Amino acid sequence: MHTIFSANDLHDTIRSVFTAQRQHAAQMALTTAAQRIERIRRIGKWVDKHEEAIQQAMYEDFRKPAAEVSLAELMALRSEINYTIQHLGNWMKSHRLPTPTVLIGTKSYIRYEPKGVVLIIAPWNYPFVLAIRPLVSAIAAGNVAIIKPSELTPNTAKLISRMIEELFPVEEVDVFEGDAEVSTALLEMPFNHIFFTGSPAVGRVVMTAAAKQLASVTLELGGKSPAIVDETANIKQSAERLAWGKCVNNGQTCIAPDYVLVHQSVKDNFLQAFRAAVSAMYRGDNKPVVDSDSYARIVNSRHFERLRNLVDEAVAKGAVVSMGGTMDASQNFIEPTILERVTSDMLIMHEEIFGPILPVLTYTDLDEALAVVNERDKPLALYIHSRNRQTIDYIINRTSAGDTVINETLIHFSNSELPFGGVNNSGFGKSNGFFSFQEFSNHRGIMQRDFGTMKFIYPPYTDTVRKL
Q: Which residues bind ligand NAD (CB under 6 A)?
A: 121-125, 130, 148, 150-151, 179-180, 183-184, 197-199, 202, 205-206, 220-222, 254, 352, 354, 380, 422, 427
Looking at the Cβ atoms of 220 and 240, the one nearer to ligand NAD is 220
Q: How far is the CB of 135 from ligand NAD (least distance, A)?
A: 14
- CB of residue 137 to ligand NAD, shortest distance in Å: 13
- b (16+ CB within 10 A) / e for 350-366: eebbbbbbbbbbbbeeb
Q: Can 220 be counted among the known catalytic residues?
A: yes
Instruction: Round to whole Å and give the CA distance between 287 and 289.
Output: 6
Identity of the residue, 21 or 156, whose beta carbon is nearer to ligand NAD in the bound complex: 156
Between 116 and 198, name the residue whose CB sits nearer to ligand NAD.
Answer: 198
CA distances from 420 to 84, 112, 425, 428, 429 (A): 15, 20, 15, 10, 9
Sheet holding 173-175, edge to edge: 173-175, 144-148, 117-121, 193-197, 216-220, 427-428
Neighbouring CB atoms inside 10 A of 54's CB total 26
Separation CA 362–CA 262 (nearest Å): 5
CA distance 144 to 42: 15
Task: Clarify whether 247 is annotated catalytic.
Answer: no
Nearest CB to ligand NAD, comparing residues 255 and 342 = 255
**188 C-beta neighbours (distance < 10 Å), count:** 14
Q: Exposed e or buried b for every residue in 216-249, given b needs 16+ CB within 10 A?
A: bbbbbbbbbbbbbbbbebebeebbbbbbbbbbbb
Nearest Cα to Cα of residue 270 among 246, 293, 242: 242
- Rounded to an integer, what distance in angstroms lies between the CA atom of residue 312 and that of residue 318? 10
d(CA 215, CA 260): 38
CB of residue 354 to ligand NAD, shortest distance in Å: 6
Minimum CB distance to ligand NAD, residue 109 (Å): 32
Respond yes or no on whether the N-terminal peptide bond of residue 149 is cis (omega within 30° of 0).
no
Name which of 21 and 425 has its Cβ closer to ligand NAD. Answer: 425
Work out how close the CB of 322 gets to ligand NAD at its nearest, in angstroms, rounded to a whole number. 26
- Residue 256 CB, shortest distance to ligand NAD, in Å, is 8
Out of 73, 172, 177, 254, pick the active-site residue: 254
We find the least distance from the C-beta atom of residue 343 to ligand NAD, in angstroms, to be 23
CB-based contact 273:239 (threshold 8 Å): yes
| Residue among 129 and 392 whose Cβ is closer to ligand NAD | 129
Q: Which residue is nearest to ligand NAD (CB)?
A: 222
- Between 204 and 398, whose beta carbon lies closer to ligand NAD? 204
Those residues with Cβ within 8 angstroms of residue 319's Cβ, 6 or more apart along the chain or in another chain:
311, 339, 340, 341, 342, 343, 346, 348, 359
- Residues designated catalytic: 220, 254
